[in-house]
Amino acid sequence: ATPISVMVAVGRAAESGILIRKGEALQKAGEITCLVLDKTGTITEGKPTVASVHAIGNFTEDTILQLAASIESGSEHPLAASVLKAAADKNIALDKVEKFEAILGHGVTAVINKKVVYLGNKALMDKKSVRYDAHNSKLEQLSALGQTPMLLAIDNKIAGIVAVSDPIKQDSVQAVQHLRARGIRVIMVTGDNPITAQAIASLAGITEVKAQVLPQDKAAIIKTLQAQEIVGMVGDGVNDAPALVQADVGFAIGTGTDVAIESADVVILQGSLLKVSEAIDLSKATVKNIK
Ligand code: ADP
Ligand code: MG
40-53 pLDDT, tens digit per residue, is 999 999 999 999 99
Q: Which atom of ligand 1 is nearest to the CA of 149?
A: 16
Task: Write down the pLDDT at residue 2.
Answer: 64
Q: What is the mean pLDDT of residues 231-235?
A: 96
Task: Write down the pLDDT at residue 1.
Answer: 46
260 closest CA partner among 252, 249, 270, 271: 252
> How far, in Å, from the CA of 183 to the mean position of ligand 2?
24
62-98 pLDDT, tens digit per residue, is 999 999 999 999 998 999 999 999 999 999 999 999 9
Which residues have a Cβ under 8 Å from the Cβ of 250 and sit 6 or more positions away?
232, 233, 235, 243, 244, 263, 264, 265, 266
Q: Which atom of ligand 1 is nearest to the CA of 212?
A: 10
Cβ–Cβ under 8 Å, residues 125 and 139: no
> How far, in Å, from the CA of 253 to the mean position of ligand 2?
9
> How far, in Å, from the CA of 88 to the mean position of ligand 1?
21
Query: Is residue 92 helix, strand or coil?
Result: coil
> How far, in Å, from the CA of 157 to the mean position of ligand 2?
30
So which residues are the catalytic ones?
A: 38
Domains present along the chain, CATH in parentheses: 17-45+168-290 (3.40.50.1000), 49-165 (3.40.1110.10)
Q: How many Cβ atoms are within 10 Å of 123's Cβ, its own excluded?
A: 16
Q: What is the mean pLDDT of residues 165-170?
A: 96
Residue minimizing CA distance to atom 24 of ligand 1: 107
Cβ–Cβ under 8 Å, residues 40 and 237: yes
3-18 pLDDT, tens digit per residue, is 777 888 888 888 999 9
Residue minimizing CA distance to atom 16 of ligand 1: 121
Measure Cα distances from 155 to 68, 109, 112, 113, 135 in Å: 14, 11, 10, 11, 17
Task: Write down the pLDDT at residue 251.
Answer: 95
Average pLDDT, the chain: 94
Closest ligand, as measured to the CA of 235:
2
Q: Which atom of ligand 1 is nearest to the CA of 213?
A: 6
Residue minimizing CA distance to atom 22 of ligand 1: 107
Cβ–Cβ under 8 Å, residues 56 and 160: yes
- In this prediction the pTM is 0.93
Ligand 1: residues with CB < 6 A are: 39-40, 72, 75, 77, 79-80, 105-108, 119-121, 148, 150, 190-192, 215, 237, 239
Q: How many Cβ atoms are within 10 Å of 11's Cβ, its own excluded?
A: 11
